[in-house]
Amino acid sequence: MQCDYFDAGACRSCTWMGQPYDEQLAAVHAAAVAALGERPGLVWSEPVARAEEGFRNKAKMVVGGTVEQPTLGILDRAGHGVDLRHCGLHEPALHDALPVLAALVTRAALVPYDVPTRRGELKHVLATVAPDGGLMVRFVLRSTESLPRLRKHLPWLHEQLPGLVVASVNLQPEHKAVLEGPEEVVLTEQSTLPLRLAGLDLRLRPQGFFQTNTAVAAALYAEAAAWTRDLGARSAWDLYCGVGGFALTLAGAGVPDVVGVELSAEAVTAARDSAERAGLDGVRFEAGDATAWAAAQEHAPDLVVVNPPRRGIGAALAGWLDASGARHVLYSSCHSGSLARDLDAMPSWEPVRGRVFDMFPQTAHHEVLVLLRRR
């Protein structure tokens, strides 16, 4: 892949830009294998890859510049905006939407937040595209001062972006390196974005989490379903379940009793909606801390799925899993280093299957799915 921004030195986020993709894929696979080290019985499948560009379903754009000439992209070292609206990583629908969103900044007189002076209102524009082209757009503002103008220009935004499903404002008044705040104001009639993939009908709410690469996420869920069918599990937990991707996949793969646990109440609401729409009576979702919830249960299920953030599941949950009565664990990790550390803290378990999923081409980041069985 070739990128003008990278070549010009304007953005170096994609550290492997320009490296042949087959070499990138071999490198991430080797990195995962090296991180986990020698583990007898672990069989690796070939890594999963899709497109090396135009794959990102989410754009997280810092807003800079001025009302008349806004930038959507990143900040330079001085805190000034660098425009990246033509980034080649974004899916086509996102690429086409960003100039419209920049034009809205001017039309609605949304003053970009200036980090050095701590003045202005609009901090970020966050946009997500669904497989069917539907769009969710979020504006991260310091206050509600711009809300009336955004509402006024919402019909224009619908005209320019016919695929717009959800638009909202997130309020983040503090001056710190936090992407968004806790309060969300939905501007549209609909508050969830349908995500239909791999036989699933997921629902994403403004503060919910979904994988950045839709095609690779679909492959990840399909692999989890295939591995699960061989286990004969009658019960399963999906810890850190997000909008319910793994939980709904397990239910669809024939596991009759599935529970998803997620800290985000927004994500749990969306997951429950998806389960109801799919008519899956055997799956339910709970809002709470994954470790605390698991520790409070009387009995462990046959299968536990964990899909934690980069830091991993941590010593407490690893210890609980090691002493539990579960028979299998599916561990989906976005950081093979923390995965290896967690496996070392679970001596009663052995990994038997592993596969790398290249969610983030042009970088060293990757997703790893590992199946564990009790020794």
**Cα dihedral angle (147, 148, 153, 158), rounded to 10 degrees?**
60
Contact 339, 370 (CB under 8 A): yes
Element (H, E) at 266: helix 265-278
Q: Which two tokens stand for residue 129?
A: 């595209």
Q: Tell me the CA distances in angstroms from 34 to 29, 87, 307, 333, one per residue in order.
A: 9, 32, 21, 15
C-alpha–C-alpha distance, residues 35 and 30, integer Å: 8
C-alpha–C-alpha distance, residues 361 and 319, integer Å: 34
Nearest to 111 by CA among 123, 96, 128, 99: 123
Name residue 274's amino acid.
S
Q: Tell me the CA distances in angstroms from 263 to 61, 115, 267, 310, 324, one per residue in order.
A: 25, 31, 8, 16, 22
Catalytic residue among 3, 11, 241, 334: 334
Residue owning tokens 């899909």: 307
Name residue 289's amino acid.
D
User: Rounded to 5 degrees, what are φ and ψ at 296?
Assistant: -85, -5
Name residue 58's amino acid.
K
User: Rounded to 5 degrees, what are φ and ψ at 192?
Assistant: -130, 145
Told to judge if 3 belongs to the known catalytic residues of this protein, a careful annotator would answer no
Contact 244, 219 (CB under 8 A): no
Q: Which two tokens stand for residue 256?
A: 């009759």
List active site positions.
334
